Amino acid sequence: MSDPSDHRPHPAGPGHLQEQEQLLRLLVDSVKEYAIFMLDPSGHVLTWNPGAERIKGYPAHEIVGRHFAVFFTPEDVRRGKPDAELLEAAEQGSSEDEGWRVRRDGTRFFASVVVTALRGPDGALRGFAKITRDLTERRRGEEARRNLAEAREAVRSRDDFLAVASHELRTPLTCVQLVAQSLARQTHEGQPVTGQQVERLHQLQRHVARLGELVSGLLDLAEMSRGALQLEPAPFDLSELVQEVAARFEPDVRRKGTALSVHAPGPIPGRWDRRRVADAIAAVLGNAVKYGGRSPIEVTASRDDRRALVVIEDRGPGIAPEDQSRVFERFERAAPVAHYPGLGVGLWTARQILNAHGGDIAVESASGKGARFSLRLPLESPA
């Protein structure tokens, strides 16, 4: 009967250790998908496997003895990333990273890197083992999927916008057609002009004006989307312009049964594109009229030493925090399209105009507590 103790591992002799080292070297050399190599404590390359040559492009006789910083991009070297990587591994036991690395021919690849500190029985640092995997193809696949998703979202946004734009254009066109047909019929019958007909003519004018605004907005949208917004700055009084724009909304405000107050004391002279700034103010004020319910709307204009400020505030339903950045995006809105018609580009347009002047727009709001939009323009606008 055999003694089970005969199957226990015996202490490894020199021959056995040598065999293990050979097997380990065979394992490392057979791995082609990973760069596996060792560094001395200061970061110089000690060993090099075929996978490292395949991924990084250096034959062993060229790279052994050189500092591993050669694998990093120049910008990472300037930031001290190679030393930081070794320091983290020495202190934490290992360091993991994903980022761009440089091949022998200067081309870059996206890598997953693990650096492990190697310590002797006495705890002294003997060097580092580094394993690198080329993830370039995976990253390209992720970028392709992300680009495809963005393209699909762009197509969806475009289709939604076209549907809304078609509806917005069709509504006043239908009204214009009906009013024109009614007036033509009454004129053909030889009826005298009545007060009702005059009102219908005014209605016709309003719808034609609305069509003009929509077409102008579409043209501006195309121009801004191309990044081709051209400013025509000229001196004017912003305070006067604010009052002028607010006056345009008086009929809408009266129809909604709300109140619009304007506080724009004193001249606020500046040099901006008058038409564009008027469009930006009108876009924000129009939003307040549309979404503010019957709450009063306040418009104020002021200035300090550096900039002019227009604040438009309502006490309507407000904008939820998660929607506040989204409302400035193209084709986005915080309320359902069915409840509030429009192209969904007003606030985006306002931001583009203000940014082109070197200014900005911000919103402060909370659900159920109204919204406060601040439009800022530098007193010295870019030429």
Q: What is the pLDDT of residues 271-326, one digit of tens each?
A: 999 989 998 999 899 888 888 778 899 999 999 889 999 999 998 888 878 777 77
Mean pLDDT estimate for the chain: 81
Task: Enter the pTM of the model.
Answer: 0.49
User: Which band of pLDDT confidence, cut at 50, 70 and 90, is reported for residue 231?
Assistant: confident
Q: For 56-74, what is the mean pLDDT? A: 95
Is residue 151 predicted with pLDDT exceeding 60? Answer: yes
Please tell me the predicted confidence (pLDDT) of residue 340.
46
- Decide if 128 contacts 115 (C-beta within 8 A): yes
- Residue-level pLDDT at 222: 63
What is the reported pLDDT for 98? 92
pLDDT band with cut points at 50, 70 and 90 for residue 368: confident
pLDDT of residue 71: 96
CATH number of 234-378: 3.30.565.10
Statement: residue 84 has pLDDT above 80? yes
Answer for the pair 316, 280: CB distance below 8 angstroms, yes or no.
no
pLDDT band at 215 (very low <50, low <70, confident <90, very high): low
Nearest-5° angle of CA 167, CA 169, CA 171? 65
Question: What pLDDT does residue 138 have?
Answer: 84
With bands split at pLDDT 50, 70 and 90, how would you rate the model's confidence at 339? very low
252 or 25, greater pLDDT: 252
Q: pLDDT tens-digit profile of 182-202?
A: 666 666 666 666 677 667 676
Return the higher-pLDDT residue of 301 and 12: 301
pLDDT for 204 equals: 72
Give the pLDDT score at 209. Answer: 66
Q: Which range among 11-15, 74-78, 319-323 has the greatest average pLDDT? A: 74-78
Q: Percent of the chain having pLDDT more than 70?
A: 69
Q: Which of 218, 151, 164, 221 is nearest to 336 (CA)?
A: 164
Sequence spans of domains, the chain: 13-134, 141-225, 234-378
- Encode pLDDT of 344-353 as tens digits: 578 888 998 9
**Predicted pLDDT at 337:** 45
The domain defined by 141-225 folds into Helix Hairpins (1.10.287)
CATH code for 13-134? 3.30.450.20
Q: Which residue has the higher pLDDT, 59 or 182?
A: 59
pLDDT at 349: 85
Q: Alpha-carbon distance 233 to 157, whole Å?
A: 33
Higher pLDDT, 59 or 226: 59
What would the mean pLDDT of 136-141 be, rounded to a whole number?
84
254 or 333, higher pLDDT:
254
What would the two tokens of residue 282 be?
A: 């009108």
Q: What is the pLDDT of residue 2?
A: 47
